[in-house]
Amino acid sequence: MENKSWDLDIGQLDTPDSVYDYEFLDHKDALLYVIEVDSYMLKSSNEITPLEIVLQTVYEAIIDRVMSSPTDACGILLFGLEGKTESGMEGCKVLLDLAIPTVDGLRQIKELIKDIASLKVNTTNTNSASIANVLFLANQQFSQSPTKYFSRRILFITSNDRPNIDKPSKTAAITRAKDLGDIGISFIPYFLSGESKFDPSLFYEDLFYAIPSIRWDDGVSEMNTVDGLGELKNAISALKAIKRALFTNYIELTPGVKIGVKGYKIYSKTMPVKTTQACRVGNQYRFVERKSINVGVDTGKTLEPQEIRKTFKFGPNYLQFLPEQISEIRSIGDPIIKLIGFKPSSSVEWMYNVNSSYFLYPTEDNFVGSVRSFTSLVKSLWKTNKVAIVWAIFRRNSSGRMGALIPSVSENEPQGLHFVSLPFSDDIRDVPPFEANNKPPQELINPLTSIVRKLTMPNGYQSERYPNPLLMWFNRVIQAAALDELPMAVDDKTLPKFKSINTRAGHFIEEWNLNLDSVETKTTLKRTSEESQMNSNNESKHRKLDDPDQIKLLYETGKLNKLTVAVLSSFLNGNGISTSNLRKPQLIEAVNDFFANQK
């Protein structure tokens, strides 16, 4: 089976030690935007140039990276201009050095966007050697950074498919590109079609074809060619986060039959940037280094690490364990995803998921033939409408969990296996008590059914259409404070479209409200009638117990203890007998004496 169907750009996972021993580290990424400025990019349309749109998109993407990944580095390099850089590079301009973006650097980008007319295209000697110079300058940007990055990428944007370049300069540019690829720098070219369709085969096919980080599976002439600035904006926005493998493991079908996989987290909640403790030193703030000191409560003595033991409380006692004993207790085996069996897909309910799901993707780094075996497993599960039940330990010293491998082969979804965590018997909680007699009347069910049908979203919930409004507002406030601006208003996509709702289902909503009021009125009247009847019965019963003849009957049958203290006291007081400070047994005795004396 050909492996092309699984040949997606998931990046390379650096696992120098063991295939099972990948750590969840805080990886740093470096992304350099290389943008060619030509006559098309500076051609104004509706009082705005394509270069302004590109720079504004890059600016917003950098702002997002600053908020979501503060340790990532970004840079912007323009070429095709008049003039030189400080190092003497012809036609190049370093707009933003490759580093963690600063407030001054971001302001410089914004100022250039407002004054885009200050840029002049080099029309006298366009690109005579600028491609090689640009790639050399890009190499310098990465090599001068002292930080080690997990991912180093160049996003190359151009609308010029016919650079005026001679053969020696072309050879030099290809050599520079290969050098960058050899040191692990990935290229992401985006060819912008301007007045005519961009044709990469005229030059850039030769430049990028030999770089391993670029894959031309579907033909170079169609690779990353965007027809409009809107497509380019979406493409740049998609590069906010690199696809990182959280773990590398294997699926064991039977002893000796293993399929290598990598695990990814497709959905992960984005949290606001955390606050950082800092102190002011002169005109600058510096990070505060926090240190913890353990002190004995009884002695007040500072404790050394070797004096501290981890304990578990068992009743009133504390059980001490050494660190190696703790590790041994918590260790349940080596990393593995072991197949237990298969179940119909209907047996795995949506509420069973107790943790975030993982997306599994094949890799042949350690097990040859994994792609074909993985493909066969996915297709078999899909055709038979089954899921695989597995026992999974994703990495060393992690807790094991039961899970279901659910196939996904839709074109609109990632194609692979989704690992969904299943609960153990200890994880099951009792459901709230259910009252079967709370059945709603039919006059409430019918209009609500129409409301649900009218307001059903035809394409279902599409998460990409709903950015988190609270997170957006938080980021806007932080950004405005950093750049001395006023925070821009947030377009909250989660607000209901009341006009559309009223148009589609307004009549049914009104009908349902009227029926609800009618049902509540009937229920209130019925409850009032029942309460009145109950009170009437109680009063009748109370009157019967107060009747002297009834009390005499109870006396004769020896059942005066059924009467209350109030009834007994009332009867005695009515017959001139004092009941002061008398308890119920004494009251009953007084009633017995009263009837006995009448005989």
For residue 77, list its beta bridge partners: 34, 94
The predicted pLDDT at position 419 comes to: 94
Q: Which two tokens stand for residue 382?
A: 């899909």
Which of 6-10, 187-191, 339-343 is most confident? Answer: 339-343
Of the CA atoms within 13 Å of residue 316, those in its CB half-sphere come to 0
- CATH 2.60.40.10 for domain 442-526, yes or no, is no
Q: Which two tokens stand for residue 377?
A: 């497993």
For residue 544, list its beta bridge partners: none
Q: Which two tokens stand for residue 596?
A: 């006995």
Give Cβ neighbours of residue 51 (< 8 Å, ≥ 6 apart): 35, 37, 41, 42, 116, 119
What's the rounded mean pLDDT across residues 346-362? 88
Alpha carbons 386 and 144: distance in angstroms, whole number: 53
Gyration radius from the chain CA atoms = 38
Alpha carbons 433 and 425: distance in angstroms, whole number: 20
Domain 246-267+331-427, CATH: 2.40.290.10
Alpha carbons 115 and 49: distance in angstroms, whole number: 11
Alpha carbons 408 and 379: distance in angstroms, whole number: 9
For residues 404 and 419, the answer to whether their CB atoms sit within 8 Å is yes
Residue where the block lists tokens 């240190």: 291
Percentage, residues of the chain above pLDDT 70: 82
Give Cβ neighbours of residue 203 (< 8 Å, ≥ 6 apart): 161, 162, 163, 165, 170
Give 391's pLDDT tier (boundaries 50, 70, 90). very high
What's the rounded mean pLDDT across residues 449-469? 87
Alpha carbons 465 and 450: distance in angstroms, whole number: 26
Q: Which two tokens stand for residue 158?
A: 């151009």
The predicted pLDDT at position 544 comes to: 52
Alpha helices in 19-166 (DSSP H): 50-68, 103-114, 130-143
Alpha carbons 227 and 560: distance in angstroms, whole number: 99
For residues 509 and 455, the answer to whether their CB atoms sit within 8 Å is no
Alpha carbons 96 and 47: distance in angstroms, whole number: 25
Q: Look at 580 and 388; give whichever has higher pLDDT.
A: 388
Give the angle 313-318-324 at the CA atoms, nearest 5°: 90
Alpha carbons 249 and 319: distance in angstroms, whole number: 35
Four-way CATH pick for 29-242: 3.40.50.300, 3.40.50.410, 3.90.870.10, 1.10.10.60: 3.40.50.410
Alpha carbons 38 and 57: distance in angstroms, whole number: 18
Question: What would you measure as the largest C-alpha separation in the chain, in angstroms?
Answer: 139
Alpha carbons 37 and 79: distance in angstroms, whole number: 6
For residues 93 and 78, the answer to whether their CB atoms sit within 8 Å is yes
Q: Write down the domain spans for the chain.
A: 29-242, 246-267+331-427, 442-526, 548-597
The predicted pLDDT at position 531 comes to: 54
Q: How far is CA 495 from CA 89, 469, 491, in A?
A: 51, 10, 9
Give 545's pLDDT tier (boundaries 50, 70, 90). low
Q: Is 414's pLDDT higher than 80?
A: no
Q: Is 479's pLDDT higher than 90?
A: no
Alpha carbons 143 and 184: distance in angstroms, whole number: 12
For residues 195 and 160, the answer to whether their CB atoms sit within 8 Å is no
Question: Which element (helix H / strand E) includes 329?
Answer: helix 323-330
CA dihedral of 114, 82, 138, 72, whole degrees rounded to 10: -10
Q: Is 406's pLDDT higher than 90?
A: yes
Q: Is 197's pLDDT higher than 90?
A: no
Give Cβ neighbours of residue 95 (< 8 Å, ≥ 6 apart): 76, 77, 78, 108, 109, 112
Which of 163-167, 204-208, 278-282, 443-447 is most confident? Answer: 443-447
Same fold flag, 29-242 and 246-267+331-427: no
Give 420's pLDDT tier (boundaries 50, 70, 90). very high
pLDDT tens sequence across 306-324? 788 888 888 888 888 887 8
pLDDT tens sequence across 71-87? 889 999 998 887 766 66
Give 223's pLDDT tier (boundaries 50, 70, 90). very low
The predicted pLDDT at position 430 comes to: 79
Question: Cα-flanking dihedrals φ and ψ of residue 147, to 5°?
Answer: -80, 140
What's the whole-number average pLDDT of the chain?
Answer: 79
Q: Look at 86 and 416; give whichever has higher pLDDT.
A: 416
For residues 196 and 162, the answer to whether their CB atoms sit within 8 Å is no
325: left (phi over 0), alpha (psi -120 to 50) or beta: alpha
Alpha carbons 5 and 55: distance in angstroms, whole number: 35
Q: Is 215's pLDDT higher than 90?
A: no
Give the pairing of strands 186-192 and 151-158.
Answer: parallel
Which of 93-102, 514-523, 542-551 is most confident? Answer: 93-102
Percentage, residues of the chain above pLDDT 90: 12
User: What single letter denotes the amino acid at residue 313?
Assistant: K
Closest by alpha carbon to 484, among 55, 110, 116, 101? 110
What's the rounded mean pLDDT across residues 44-52? 81
What's the rounded mean pLDDT across residues 364-368? 86
For residues 356 and 263, the answer to whether their CB atoms sit within 8 Å is no
Alpha carbons 589 and 599: distance in angstroms, whole number: 16
Alpha carbons 54 and 109: distance in angstroms, whole number: 12
For residues 188 and 204, the answer to whether their CB atoms sit within 8 Å is no
Residue where the block lists tokens 């040191």: 183
